[in-house]
A and B are shown apart, each in its own frame.
Chain A
Amino acid sequence: MSHAFYLWMSYGATAVAVAAEIVLLRMRRAQALARVEEEKDLEAQD
């Protein structure tokens, strides 16, 4: 196997890990805000 394969696997996986973390961060924030909204709506209905 050429050295390029090992380099691409290393740099590629790091890029994927960083991108995945940023996507998960945005999703977590959106979920947290949605939960606040949901509870607010439920309280308004009561």
Chain B
Amino acid sequence: MINFFYFASPSTFYRLAGRLSPWFFALAAILGVAGLYLGLLVAPTDAQQGEVYRVIFIHVPAAWMSMFLYFVMACYGAVSLTFNTRLAAMMARALAPTGAMFTFVALWTGAFWGRPTWGTYWANDARMISELILLFLYFGFMALANAFEDPRRGDRAAALLALIGLVNLPIIYFSVAWWNTLHQGSSVNFRGTSMHRTMLAAMLLMALSFWMYSIGTALTRVRAVILERERRTHWVRELAAPLP
């Protein structure tokens, strides 16, 4: 049985993350190439939107990841608040920039999809505004985490904000059902999909690629966070090059 407490030690996790992250980046690249091949070269042209619909292959996976990463970040925040674990707080910090990046990509690609299809880059629509709030929540989390001299205080304040911000996730997801929005409804849900099989396969491959990329970046970033936070410990000193 895996001893999770053993891996909760920053020194052990630092080495484990270093070994695992290249594999996740490799998987992300393979899945990304497959997804782009299917999405850009194999998937048929949309009857109504023409070629511009192909933005879906990054827009939807980026939007999914923006919400999923926030949820995972808040879970790590809850664990760090409840059990006072250092590594959980470091993981929450490591996830935030990637989550913000995917939120930005979802908003940006949505704007460049909206212009040719709706005639506007931006509308004060419930889905778009709640996604923009998500971006501000990520910024707030990062700012709050770094606002204190004592990083543990920053961890606690940021974790609290992450937990409060969780309320925004169902608002984003159900906004198209709760309000009359310009944004279309979900193309994929738990009941099924109305998409062509090739389009769906390309979108799922891209979502998996973004997921693997997120794990790779989180593991790489948490190594830097561990180095920053544990720099006065003996094991980190040993990692650095020996003195001449």
Contact = CB atoms under 8 A, between A and B. Distances in A.
> Chain A interface: which size bin?
20 to 34
A25 to B, nearest CB: 5
A32 B31 CA distance: 31
Nearest to B115: A6
Contacts of A11: 58
Interface in B189-244: 213, 217, 220-221, 223-224, 227-228, 231-232, 236-237, 239-241, 243
Interface residues of B, number: 35
B116 A13 contact: no
Interface in A12-43: 13-14, 17-18, 21-22, 24-25, 28-29, 31-33, 35-37, 39-41
B202 to A, nearest CB: 13
A39 to B, nearest CB: 6
Nearest to B233: A36
A7 B240 contact: no
B50 interface: yes
B97 A21 contact: yes
A41 B243 contact: yes
Given A13-B109, A21-B97, A1 B239 contact: no
A5 B122 CA distance: 17
Contacts of A39: 231-232
B176 to A, nearest CB: 20
B34 to A, nearest CB: 16
A44 B244 CA distance: 11
A46 B105 CA distance: 49
Contacts of A29: 220, 223-224, 227
A36 B236 CA distance: 8
B52 interface: yes
A5 B237 CA distance: 50
A33 B59 contact: no
Nearest to A28: B224
25 contacts: A1-B115, A1-B116, A3-B50, A6-B115, A7-B51, A13-B105, A13-B112, A14-B105, A14-B109, A18-B101, A18-B213, A21-B97, A21-B217, A25-B224, A28-B224, A35-B227, A35-B228, A36-B227, A36-B236, A36-B239, A39-B231, A40-B237, A40-B240, A40-B243, A44-B243
Interface of A: 1, 3-4, 6-7, 9-11, 13-14, 17-18, 21-22, 24-25, 28-29, 31-33, 35-37, 39-41, 44
